[in-house]
């Protein structure tokens, strides 16, 4: 069994020297592996990466995101996905290939202000991300409370194999829709929603702690 070395780093700091495989937010300079973000550097066997503790949401294909419809155009919807890039949901993805702006009414599906759970269908550096709502659970979100968390801490909120998010959901009797973009929609009984929101805030603040899961559990069962 090999060990994990975790190190608090800030941008520009050398994490380790030698011969490693480069993971996220690490740059190689000669023999040095340098952090590009403030966060926890993690060295496991031959791999070195930085788990950032702050940062913007940069879309990746197949990410699940929570977005807000901000404009309805002739051929699709513009969606704010909490990123520097605006999401676009083409009408053909919703109405199918026989979509025609003359016969289909886009507002019958999503209106300005609607929240949707979507998947990043495609994204590259030169084009804004294209969204899709085809897939289980995707589409308009009918109800719930929006809670914001730093996008860099979403993996902690989900936890290993979804452990953390399932725990919150079970303990608060709520349904949580988590966007990789840092927006979470919580639906359930008012008291449960409030406790789930507080649990999320706790994860936001203490994402760097090793015993986070136990702390959250203690909070949920104790409170």
Partner 1 sequence: MKEKKKLIDENGLRLDGRKWDQLRPIKIEVGTLHNADGSAYIEFGKNKIAAAVYGPKEMHPKHALLPDRAVLKCRYHMAPFSVDERKNPAPSRREIEISKVIREALQPSLILEDYPRTAIQIYVEVLQSDGGSRVAGITAASLALADAGINMRDMVVGCAVGKIEGKIVLDLDDAEDKEGSGDMPFAFMPNLNLVTLLQLDGLFTPDEFRQALELAQQGARRVYEMQREALIKQYFSGGAGETTVVEEGE
In sign, the C-alpha dihedral spanning 6, 7, 11, 13 is: negative
Q: Is 210 in the site for partner 1 (CB under 8 A)?
A: yes
Determine the interface stretch with partner 1 among 68-76, 176-184, 194-202, 206-214 (rule: CB under 8 A).
206-214
Q: Is 215 in the site for partner 1 (CB under 8 A)?
A: no
Q: Is 16 in the site for partner 1 (CB under 8 A)?
A: no
- Cα(221)–Cα(223) distance, integer angstroms: 6
Q: Is 208 in the site for partner 1 (CB under 8 A)?
A: yes
- Cα(118)–Cα(122) distance, integer angstroms: 12
Site for partner 1, residues 77 to 136, rule: CB under 8 A:
84-86, 125-126
Determine the interface stretch with partner 1 among 52-60, 66-74, 95-103, 175-183 (rule: CB under 8 A).
52-60
- Cα(131)–Cα(64) distance, integer angstroms: 9
Give the count of beta carbons closer than 10 Å to the beta carbon of residue 178: 23
Closest approach, Cβ 116 to partner 1, in A, equals 20
Give the count of beta carbons closer than 10 Å to the beta carbon of residue 143: 10
Which residue is listed with tokens 């788990």?
51
Let me know if 217 is exposed, middle or buried by CB neighbors in 10 A (0-12, 13-18, 19+): middle
Q: Is 14 in the site for partner 1 (CB under 8 A)?
A: yes
What is the C-alpha R_g of the chain?
Answer: 20
Closest approach, Cβ 171 to partner 1, in A, equals 22
The residue within the footprint of partner 1, chosen from 17, 31, 54, 163 (CB under 8 A), is 54
Determine the interface stretch with partner 1 among 36-44, 62-70, 170-178, 190-198 (rule: CB under 8 A).
36-44
Q: Which of 205, 174, 110, 185 is nearest to 143 (CA)?
A: 185
Interface with partner 1 (CB under 8 A): 1-8, 10-14, 25, 27, 34, 36-39, 44, 52-56, 58, 84-86, 125-126, 150, 152, 206, 208-210
């Amino acid at each position: 069994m090999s060990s994990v070395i975790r190190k608090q780093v800030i941008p520009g700091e050398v994490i380790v020297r030698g011969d490693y495989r480069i993971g996220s937010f690490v740059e190689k300079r000669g023999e040095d592996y340098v952090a590009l973000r403030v966060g926890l550097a993690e060295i496991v066997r031959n791999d070195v990466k930085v788990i950032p503790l702050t940062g913007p949401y940069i879309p990746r294909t197949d990410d699940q995101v929570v977005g807000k419809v901000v404009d309805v155009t002739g051929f699709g919807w513009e969606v704010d996905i909490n990123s520097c890039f605006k999401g676009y949901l083409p009408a053909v993805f919703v109405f199918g290939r026989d979509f025609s702006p003359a016969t289909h009414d886009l507002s019958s599906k999503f209106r300005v202000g609607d929240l949707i759970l979507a998947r990043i269908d495609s994204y590259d550096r030169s084009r804004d991300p294209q969204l899709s709502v085809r897939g289980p659970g995707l589409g308009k979100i009918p109800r719930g409370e929006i809670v914001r968390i730093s996008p860099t801490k979403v993996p902690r909120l989900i936890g290993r194999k979804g452990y953390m998010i399932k725990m919150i959901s079970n303990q608060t009797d709520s349904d949580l829709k988590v966007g990789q973009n840092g927006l979470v929609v919580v639906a359930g009984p008012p008291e449960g929603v409030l406790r789930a929101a507080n649990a999320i805030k706790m994860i936001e603040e203490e994402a760097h702690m090793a015993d986070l899961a136990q702390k959250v559990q203690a909070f949920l069962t104790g409170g």
